[in-house]
Structure 1
Amino acid sequence: MPRLAAYTTFALVAALAGSRLGLWPPALATATSQEAPPGAQVPAGQLPTYRAGVDLVRVDAYVVDRDGRPVPGLKTTDFQVTVDGKPRRVVTADFVKLAGGRSAPGESGSPAAGAIPGRRYVLVVDQHNIQPGGLKVAASAARTFLRQLGPDDQVALVVVPAGGSVSLTSDHERVARALENLHGSGEVLRSEVFAHVSVSEALRLESVGSDACDPGGRIPAALATILERNGCLAATMPEDERSSCCRQIVGEIRQEVTSIQQATSQSLMALESLLRALRGVEGRKTIILFSQRLVTGGGGSLDRRNDLGAVGRLAGPANANLYVLHLSRGMFDGIDASVRQEAALPFGDETAGREGLEVIAGAAGGAIFSVVAGADFAFERIARETSAYYLLGLEPVADDRDGKPHQIRVRTVLSGATVRARTEFLIPKVDVAPAGQGPVAEATAKAPERTAKAAAPAPAKVAEPPTPAAAAPAAPTATVPAPKTATALPPFERTDVLRPEVTAHFVKRLEASAGDPSPAMKEAIEAARKGRFDALLEGLAASPDDAAARVLWGMALLTRGDLENAGAEFRAALAIDSELSPAQFYLGAWHAAQGNDGEAVRAWQAVVATEFDQPAVFEVLIDALLRVGQVGRAGALVEEARSQWRDDRMTPRAAAVAVASGDLRGALDLLAPYVEKHPGDVRTLALAMRAIAHAHTNGGTVFDGATDKERVTRYAQLYEKAGGPDKAAVAGWVAAVK
């Protein structure tokens, strides 16, 4: 299915440590860590520790009783796991308790010892697939649920495919207020001229052509029923009028089927975008989806089951579990009679609407609740089920690392218990090359991040390079500087966030947030849009109550290099409006400009989901992650960005990840066609030369001596022609290779 390029309208703030499924490096533990005993509870704020030298496949599993309460005390032998139908040994089983919220009746009011504080919920409202009035009862129950959460619990509200969303916050009342303003926007499938045509009827007739209405044509039984219902088959009606009546109904059915398919496609693309973005938010998340229907298409050319399943399976890599609240037809008993009459759908429509929701919930290893009279029971159940889960570590086999999806099934021998877990996992493939040359990895640079303590085969990483004098004695050390390491990246440059296309994007965001701006503010916005920041400072007085004006001031000061005052303006803007993404973005730039990449990462992580359509956000965040050594997370973001933008703009970042992973040849293979197309990109040329020099200063080659020499010489010439600034470093890299 097509991926969404610019859709998600929410911001999620990463806060706690977490890990997505994949190879689980034992070096999470300290050097003296021992294997946790089976069934152990995890101490507050810690991940389980494991015996050094063992890579495990991680699976999160919720095990609940008939009432939805987590079942504690299970051991590894209490679980039965199969991968691709073959039994797999469970090495570890840790019971992770999450504190937060009020206790259910009959339970203790205080969190258990060892509970990790706080849970994360993402409420997703599928607005295009909910009829007007359909959210009223469910939203009321959601507000009750929110008011029962504890102070450490965080909640986000996401409206898909687009709308007023609230970022991850502990201000539960804010989310509750936002829910009050939401209404379903989906339309009941009905003819505007004729009697009601249901979803299920229309889908059965999607392939019927208007030639069925020709005199003497064969009319399908389902169409004949609709025609008869609308008087098109009356014996007294002339043949030409009967044919015209039939064609009009067929035309309207086609329009309605197209409408319902578009609503499904938009929701699927938005959900896909959301789940992919959630990969960048650490920690366990619980997604609660409100929807009346996601239509599978009923078979034939409209069948969307594969697409629905594919989106559902993204919950696994996002470290999220999914609950679906199916807003059943009974929900409309509590709304206006006029809406209820329109919503009186036949049972076939109820089934058609629920079927797609079942597919997506099943693929995610989640659950679906049909909400008829009220939704309180569903939220109470969700709160109980998400209060604890098991962190399972499975014994790995070589085939796990083949880069292909593997079917997994988790069960328990405990009678009466239900297990909710993902149904599929995938570990990116890593090819290991001979030492000295670095591994030749996949071009997408999807190798999982590893640590030095992992004993399983990993990308070979070489030590810090010696100086050029040590590597090539003939090189004069007085004039030829030592090459930088292959993983070194140049520091952040303010120009990365002050390019016209980047400032124009965020100025547009500020304009939208300004409401009814003053004449001075309008002039300032126009000046900023044109990049005339000096004029902006002259014409706009700083306003302590105007967040947008504060950001504009900060951008102008950042342009001048006045970092101290620029940072003060961005912080002041966020104090007024904590959700203002331009303020978050440029505060991250302020941190990075001062060399504080860790704080920059935190700021940009909060922006990347909101600004999913802005490649510059991905670029600066990927660079910062690489500078702080978080290669795995940088690689995951590169993968997400390349799925959004199909051109080559992310190629240099993919190559940088490959270099940082030790895959020098893979990096150079990526860069060769890019450099031919962009010979003036001096940063990318520097990356390529640095990678080649790194191999030679460590006594190896990337390809072979002649090829390496030819490439570094050509790249140096292109660098000089493009006016690259760091000529001394280039001279060192060339000398190291020659």
Structure 2
Amino acid sequence: MSSMREAARKAVRRSRIAVVAAVAASIAGVGAQQPPRFGERVEVARLIVDARVLDDRGNPIAGLTADDFKVSIDGKVARVETATWVGGHDTVVDPEMSRSASSGTADRAAGIGRLIVFLFQKDLEPSRIVGLMRILLQSRHLLETLTSDDRIAILSFDSHLKIWTDFTNDRERLDRVLAHGVLFERPPAVAASSMPSLVARLAPESGRRTYRIERALELIGEALEPLPGSKSLVLIGHGFGRFTRDGVTMENDYDPARHALVTSRTSVFSLDVTNADYHSLEAGLQLVSQQTGGFYARTHIFPDAAMRRLAGALAGYYVLFVEKPESQRSVHSVKTELTRRKGSVLTTSDISER
């Protein structure tokens, strides 16, 4: 009888052990199915600042690093993470595109160098036409400094916007337009070129309905926006704005033009052809250049110096990746300086978050 009770107690103990083991296994299985926990990752917002750096003679300064730049965003010094040179002779992929390639954004097409738009503001008034003819000739010489990878588009504006060429590296065609077309001919029919293309988003028909140069600048900026990297707009003319008793004011369509140019990363280099030491409409040229990271230059004296500085600015630029300070603003003021070198830095005066 006692042996039977002992056997029963052992059976109960075995069943309890089995239950405990089953519960433990169940708990372990649930734990194994739970996703692993990761540490928190802090995302740092960044802004892209395009900077062109020139010495006193207008030559580009290459070989700089992030430590050579001091960038202030909304008045606060921001850390410059990287500074990458993108030059016309390097065919370097724009670093902005390289960073986003992992997220599915394509790099700049191989073999495509600088993208430059020439916009000639045509006026037959005697104080302007002589200077325009002079810079048309100088622009032909500038073509000789470009590489086969660079793409140039030529536009003009008189009563409306005219498109002479889409982006092309056909120097003979470009030279013919500069030598005769802008002054003496009507633009031919222009079809969109293979990428990159300006005409794909700025049709000649739209140009014929564009009667103000501010609106023309807006359309150019919008057409350039999808194209990668920093672009250059060489504005050769006599200026714009409205002269009042209080001075020169910009028309209402200027702000959309400025926004389109800044958003598309297009720097405007204004060459004033007016034969005067000062005139009221130069204010428009000065303002758009200062706000987009370009420069303004008079050309009635020392035109060679102006063209040399233009060639230096077009030679290349730095792409700065800058940590953005905490801010609720969507548009930020930008100031960029050199820390260890002497030279002038050309950057936009404000930048929008992209």
Q: Is the 8 A contact 1:100 1:119 kept in 2?
A: no
Q: Name the structure with the higher helix share.
A: 1
Matched residue SS, 1:357? helix
Q: In the alignment, is the contact (CA less than 8 A) between 1:295 and 1:353 conserved in 2? A: yes
Matched, 1:266 2:212: yes
User: Is the CA contact 1:313–1:423 (under 8 Å) kept in the aligned structure 2?
Assistant: no
Q: Pick from 58, 79, 84: which aligns with 1:94?
A: 84
CA contact (8 A) 2:119 2:233 kept: yes
2:113 corresponds to 1:118: yes
Out of 240, 243, 247, the residue aligned to residue 297 of structure 1 is: 243
| Residues 140-168 of structure 1: per-residue CA shift (max 9 Å, x gap) | 11111113322112110011232242110
Take 2:341 and 2:281, find their aligned partners in 1: how far apart are those partners?
32
Counterpart selection for 1:139 from 136, 151, 158? 136
Partner in structure 2 of residue 606 of structure 1: none
1:80 to 70, 73, 86: 70
In structure 2, distance between residues paired with 1:373 and 1:301: 25
Number of residue equivalences: 267
1:155 matched to which residue of 2? 152
Kept after mapping to 2: 8 A contact 1:314/1:364: no
Residue of structure 1 equivalent to 2:28: none
CA contact (8 A) 1:124 1:287 kept: yes
Equivalent residue for 1:288, pick from 234, 254, 260: 234
Q: TM-score, normalised by structure 1?
A: 0.33
Alignment partner for residue 416 of structure 1, among 325, 335, 342?
Answer: 342
* Deviation, structure 1 residue 132: 4.3
Amino acid at match of 2:272: H
Alpha-carbon distance in 2 for matches of 1:163, 1:265: 10
Structure 1 residues 33-81: Cα deviation after superposition (integer angstroms, max 9, x where no partner): xxxxxxxxxxxxxxxxxx9965421111112211222223333232221
Query: Relative to structure 2, which stretch is displaced further, 311-320 or 284-293?
Result: 311-320
Alignment-derived partner of residue 370 in structure 1: 298
Instruction: Find the counterpart in structure 2 of residue 171 from structure 1.
Output: 170
Percent same amino acid among aligned pairs?
Answer: 25
Question: Any residues of structure 2 matched to 1:568-647 within 5 Å, and which?
Answer: none
| 8 Å CA contact retained: 1:56, 1:396 | yes
The amino acid of 1:72's aligned partner reads: A
Mapping 1:434-583, distance limit 5 Å: none
Determine if contact 1:57/1:394 at 8 Å carries over to the other structure. Answer: yes
Cα distance in structure 1, aligned partners of 2:245 and 2:77: 34
Assess, with a 3 A threshold, how the Cα gap between structure 1 residues 164 and 76 changes in structure 2: closer, same or farther. closer
Confirm whether residue 328 of structure 1 aligns to residue 274 of structure 2. Answer: yes
Distance in 2 separating the partners of 1:71 and 1:164: 33
8 A Cα contact 1:96 1:390, kept in partner: yes
What is the letter of the counterpart of residue 119 of structure 1? R
TM-score by structure 2 length? 0.66
Residue type of the alignment partner of 2:337: R
- The question of whether the paired residues in 2 share the 8 Å contact of 1:309 and 1:363 is answered with no
Q: Deviations over 1:256-306 (max 9, x none)?
A: xxxxxxxx9711111111111111223322110011122342455972177
Q: How much has 1:423 moved relative to structure 2?
A: 1.1
Q: CA 1:148 to 1:100, structure 2 compared with 1: closer, same or farther past 3 Å?
A: farther
The 3 A distance-change label for structure 1 pair 155 and 98 is: same
Matched, 1:66 2:40: no
| Contact 1:56 1:395 survives alignment (8 Å) | yes
Label 1:297 to 1:307 Cα distance change in 2 as closer, same or farther (>3 A).
farther
Is contact 1:294-1:354 (8 Å) kept? yes
Distance of 1:273 and 1:129 partners within structure 2: 25
Question: Conserved in 2, the CA contact under 8 Å of 1:310 and 1:363?
Answer: no
Contact 1:100 1:117 in 2 (8 A): no
Given candidates 271, 281, 288, the residue that maps to 1:360 is: 288
Q: CA deviation at 1:133?
A: 4.6
Give per-residue Cα distances to partners, 1:527-547, cap 9 Å, x unaligned. Answer: xxxxxxxxxxxxxxxxxxxxx
Q: Which amino acid aligns with 2:308?
A: E
Residues 407-448 of structure 1: CA distance to partner in whole angstroms, max 9, x if unpaired? Answer: 111111235311001111122xxxxxxxxxxxxxxxxxxxx6
Deviations 1:386-422 (A, max 9, x none): 222211111124426x5x3221111112353110011
* Counterpart residue type for residue 268 of structure 1: E
> Are the counterparts in 1 of residues 50 and 230 from structure 2 also a CA contact under 8 Å?
no
Q: Which amino acid aligns with 2:346?
A: R
Q: 1:134 to 1:381 in 2, by over 3 A?
A: closer
1:312 lines up with 2:258 in the alignment:
yes
Q: 1:2-36 deviations in whole A, cap 9, x for unaligned?
A: xxxxxxxxxxxxxxxxxxxxxxxxxxxxxxxxxxx
Amino acid at match of 2:212: Q
**2:267–2:289 Cα contact (<8 Å) kept:** no
Matched residue, 2:316 = 388
CA offset digits 1:459-517 (Å, max 9, x no partner): xxxxxxxxxxxxxxxxxxxxxxxxxxxxxxxxxxxxxxxxxxxxxxxxxxxxxxxxxxx
Q: Supply the distance in 2 between the matched residues of 1:183 and 1:99 (Cα, whole angstroms).
A: 31
State the partner residue of 2:25.
Answer: none
**What is residue 127 of structure 1 aligned with on the other side?**
122
C-alpha contact (below 8 Å) 2:119/2:234 kept by paired residues: yes
Partner of 1:99, secondary structure, is coil
User: Any idea what SS the aligned residue of 1:93 has?
Assistant: strand
Distance 1:116 1:68 in 2: 27
Distance 1:63 1:301 in 2: 32
1:217-232 aligned at under 5 Å gives the runs: none
Distance 1:53 1:85 in 2: 22
Answer whether contact 2:248 2:283 (CA < 8 A) is retained.
Answer: no
- What CA distance in whole angstroms lies between the structure 2 residues aligned with 1:100 and 1:266? 37
Aligned to 1:509: none
SS in 1 for 2:60: coil
What is the CA–CA distance in structure 2 between the aligned matches of 1:301 and 1:327, rounded to whole Å? 21
- Report the Cα distance in structure 1 between the residues aligned to 2:349 and 2:176, rounded to whole angstroms: 36
Cα distance in 2, alignment partners of residues 311 and 382 from structure 1: 22
Flag the 1:322–1:129 CA change in 2: closer, same or farther, 3 A: farther
- Measure, in 2, the Cα distance between the counterparts of 1:372 and 1:269: 27
The answer as to whether partners of 2:241 and 2:248 remain within 8 angstroms in 1 is no
Q: Distance in 1 between matches of 2:286 and 2:341?
A: 24
Over aligned residues, Cα RMSD in angstroms? 3.2
Q: Distance in 2 between matches of 1:301 and 1:143?
A: 36
Distance change >3 Å, CA 298–CA 170, structure 1 → 2: same
Name the one with the larger strand percent: 2
**Partner amino acid for 1:425?**
I
